[in-house]
C-alpha cells in the first residue's frame, strides 16, 4: 500500500470511530437502553463500512457513478446465459 492508501484507511477509520462515539454520547442521555444503543452503533458501523467499500473502488474520483454498476464479469455471465437460454449447459 502506498502512503495515500494508508492515510485514507486511517482517516476513514477515525471518522467512523468518532461518529460512533458521538452517536453513543447523543443517545445515552436520552434514556435509550444499552441494547438499543449497541444495535444502533453496530448498524452504523456496518453501514459506514459498506459505503467505504463502495467508495474504495475508485481512488482518483467520485465512485458513485454509472461505473459502480459496471461489472464486466457479470455482464459476460449474463450474455452466456442469454446465449444458452439460461440453462447453463450449452444445449
pTM above 0.75, yes or no: no
Is the distance from CB of 47 to CB of 16 less than 8 angstroms? no
Taking only the tens of pLDDT, the chain with its 91 residues reads: 788 888 888 998 999 999 999 999 999 999 999 999 999 999 999 999 888 887 776 666 666 666 656 666 666 776 776 666 555 555 5
Scored b (16 or more CB within 10 A) or e, 47-61 reads ebeeeeeeeeeeeee
Amino acid at each position: 500500500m502506498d502512503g495515500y492508501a494508508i492515510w485514507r484507511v486511517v482517516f476513514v477509520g477515525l471518522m467512523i470511530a468518532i461518529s460512533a462515539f458521538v452517536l453513543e454520547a447523543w443517545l445515552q442521555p436520552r434514556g435509550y437502553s444499552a441494547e438499543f444503543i449497541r444495535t444502533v452503533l453496530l448498524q452504523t458501523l456496518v453501514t459506514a463500512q459498506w459505503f467505504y467499500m463502495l467508495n474504495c473502488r475508485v481512488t482518483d474520483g467520485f465512485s458513485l457513478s454509472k461505473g459502480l454498476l459496471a461489472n464486466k464479469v457479470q455482464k459476460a455471465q449474463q450474455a452466456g446465459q442469454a446465449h444458452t437460454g439460461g440453462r447453463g449447459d450449452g444445449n
